Amino acid sequence: MIEIRGLVKRYGAVTALDGVDLRVRAGEMLVVLGPSGAGKSTLLRAINRLVPFDAGAVSVDGTAVPAEGAALRAVRRRIGMIFQDHNLVPRLTVLKNVLTGRLGSLPLLASLAQVFSQRDIDIAMRCLERVELYGRAWDRADRLSGGQQQRVGIARALAQQPAAILADEPVASLDPKTARIVLGDLRRAAHELGIAVLCNLHQVPYAREFADRVVGMRAGRIVFEGPCEALDAQALARIYPGLALEAALA
Ligand code: ADP
């Protein structure tokens, strides 16, 4: 579970997060919607302190996320991150990319030498199986399509055996068919592995299709929270003021 209380983040005169309270349950896929500049990305990055914040508190799986130090590194190991551009190492094999998800749990020397045990390799292969890329383990990462690379990114996050996954616009650069596969992978990871998944999206239709619960942000505040069935015209008008509904639904 991810628990966020009273989160405030300012960039000079801009208040990017204006007192955000939010809970993402274990086993839940929560989608955050909102116009550009609403604070979605800042919120996601504040959870593991990639963005330092001015006030508030975050905990993951009951452990407070501290500002720095070994304790912060320990909590970060329990949080998988998925970005729009997947950040794979192109020249490494798919399997090695997924194994980097295990690096955090190796003793320092083994980690420096990148010596992986058979157990780590088994875990990585099982994660590849989950995203249906088991057969591509020995291919170079840059031989895969964009959608497949994003799924390797998911396998790498799963290899951390995380309590939480944070996905920032994970399907922004993918075609609709591939986007649905990737979002389906994330939802299955939540439901089958009991991971708390927080996913920022631009597209309302995907939120409707894949979210267990939706949160709408605007100007650093949560202005809607509910199941996707409650995401009606009125809710959308609160999240996207002044925007034609057809545009939000596109
Ligand atoms: P979203 O992800 O919803 O598009 P962001 O979290 O990126 O929104 O941004 C929230 C607000 O914080 C915006 O007004 C944005 O301009 C501002 N902001 C984000 N990052 C920075 C930064 N590094 N420096 C200054 N302002 C920033």
pLDDT of residue 72: 92
Nearest CA owner, ligand 1 atom 22: 11
5 pLDDT tier (thresholds 50, 70, 90)? very high
Average pLDDT of span 147-152? 93
> Model confidence over 155-198: pLDDT tens digits?
999 999 999 999 999 998 889 999 999 999 999 999 999 999 99
Q: How far apart are CA 103 and CA 83, in angstroms?
A: 19
pLDDT of residue 1: 94
Tokens of 226: 């509910």
How far is the centre of ligand 1, averaged over its atoms, from the C-alpha of 53 (Å)?
Answer: 13
14 C-beta closer than 6 A to ligand 1: yes
How far is the centre of ligand 1, averaged over its atoms, from the C-alpha of 238 (Å)?
Answer: 20
Query: Which residues face 58 on adjacent strands?
Result: 4
pLDDT of residue 114: 66
For residue 101, pLDDT beyond 60 = yes
pLDDT of residue 83: 84
Q: How far apart are CA 234 and CA 93, in angstroms?
A: 48
pTM of the model: 0.92
- Parallel, antiparallel or unpaired: strands 14-24 and 164-168: unpaired
DSSP 8-state secondary structure symbol assigned to residue 140: B
Q: How many other CB atoms sit within 10 Å of the CB of residue 59? A: 15
42 C-beta closer than 6 A to ligand 1: yes
pLDDT of residue 113: 60
DSSP secondary structure of 80-106: EEE-TT----TTSBHHHHHHGGGGGGS
Range with the poorest average pLDDT among 5-9, 86-90, 111-115: 111-115
Q: Specify burial of residue 244 (Cβ count, 10 A radius: 0-12, 13-18, 19+).
A: exposed
